[in-house]
Amino acid sequence: MMNEQAKVKTGGKRMGRRKLIVLLGGIAALMVAMGIGRFAFTPILPMMMDHHLFSAAGAGYLASSNYLGYLIGALVLTLVQFKSRSMLLFAGLIVSIATTWGMGEFHNLEAWLVLRFLSGLASAVVLVIASSIVLDRLTALQAGIFYGGVGAGILLTGLSVPLLARNGDWIEVWKGLGMISLILGLAAWSSLRDRHTDTKTLSSPHDHHPSTVRRVLICLMIAYGLEGLGYIVTGTYLVAFAKTVSSIPNIASLSWMLVGIAAAPSCVGWSILASRWGKKWSLTVSMLLQSIGIAIPALIPSSTAVFAGALLFGITFMGITTLSISFAKDLYPQNNRKIIGLLTTFFGLGQMIGPLIAGLLISGNGNYLTALIGAAFIVFLGALSLPLGIGRSDRRQFKQL
């Protein structure tokens, strides 16, 4: 009897260690592909624009190139069946590392457009595949910690950019972040690789009627697509805007570090709130808060408003991703990669369009006001689309969600 108890205890410890390794590996993967590969462009953007390497419209083209890659990556993962998650994850990490380093190797807009496109493709692959691997093995609360890896990566870039920059040398920043990505990428790959095939297909949905679940999923995709369209304007131009309203030294890096500090623990907090309020209302509240955070700096241009906006943006943007993916997975419990890929596709479509429109508005008006207010309004509409789109009877059925 004692031997049996010892075996159970030993097995539990091993299971706990495996979960911890998967969790840490997932965090490292998101830091590489999302926190650095996708979002490092934001704090480096003002530095590159100070060297007159491109205009605000050019920055919009670069951002949209990245998000086009993200959209295509998510779409391919939704439509095409792949046998090995491990090899996809490996490829995504390698491309993300290489494109981060490559941004410092090339010095023309055409090459940067290609690199940002490939970086976006890689970030979608890593997000979807890492989520697929991690969500198979962790609880909802642990998954919240996993998505905090994006915030940890943003915080890391905010800390690293001023340290790596030498007299505004953006080249060394990209290459330094490339080396950091390599270290984190190796850790992520060794922790998450597996020999299991990913052969799940779109399964029967939740216990509710399939047509009802599909309607709720459509509402969720609309809300998440509007979130992608609105939030990315702040995600792209926040630090560049901060420099126009404040003379505080390094406010660009400071505001981006604040986003990371707020984002890292936010996913856990929203997961806890979702267990009490339900995912639908938690998602609605988080998007309403984000719309306020986007609008505040535009309406009250000051250092305080920039910091308040950065905090609200950081608290909400990865929480919205966590809640949206968890919501979709609850609707289709047995489907993993495909349902995450489908949701990410709608998000990617919105975020591809956002920087293009915002860049043209900023270049045309000479300020950020119209772009930011428009983005806040889009996110506000997204916040309302889910509770308004679900019928009264559906609200009772999906109360627990």
For the chain, which residues make up each domain, given as ranges?
14-397
Taking CA atoms, 152 is separated from 36, 60, 233, in Å, by 10, 25, 21
- For residue 4, pLDDT over 50 is answered with no
**Predicted confidence (pLDDT) per residue in 43-86, tens digit:** 888 888 888 888 777 887 888 889 899 999 988 888 887 778 88
Higher-pLDDT residue of 19 and 36 is 36
Q: Output the pLDDT for position 199.
A: 42
Mention every residue, 6+ apart, whose C-beta is less than 8 A from residue 197.
83, 84, 85
DSSP type of residue 84: B
Ranges of beta strands (E only) in 187-321 are: none
Position 32: which residue type? V
Q: Output the pLDDT for position 105.
A: 93
Give the dihedral sign, CA 390/391/392/396.
negative
Q: Record the tokens describing residue 243, joined without a space.
A: 């420099």
Q: Record the tokens describing residue 341, joined without a space.
A: 């890929």
Q: Output the pLDDT for position 289.
A: 96
What is the three-state SS of 238-260?
HHHHHHHHCCCCCHHHHHHHHHH
Share of the chain above pLDDT 90, in %: 30
- Gap between the Cα atoms of 380 and 38, Å rounded: 24
Across-strand partners of 84?
A: 197
Q: Record the tokens describing residue 188, joined without a space.
A: 């992520």
**Predicted confidence (pLDDT) per residue in 262-282, tens digit:** 988 898 899 899 888 888 899
Q: What is the CATH number of domain 14-397?
A: 1.20.1250.20
Higher-pLDDT residue of 372 and 179 is 179
**Predicted confidence (pLDDT) per residue in 334-364, tens digit:** 656 778 888 888 888 888 887 778 877 877 7
- Gap between the Cα atoms of 333 and 161, Å rounded: 40
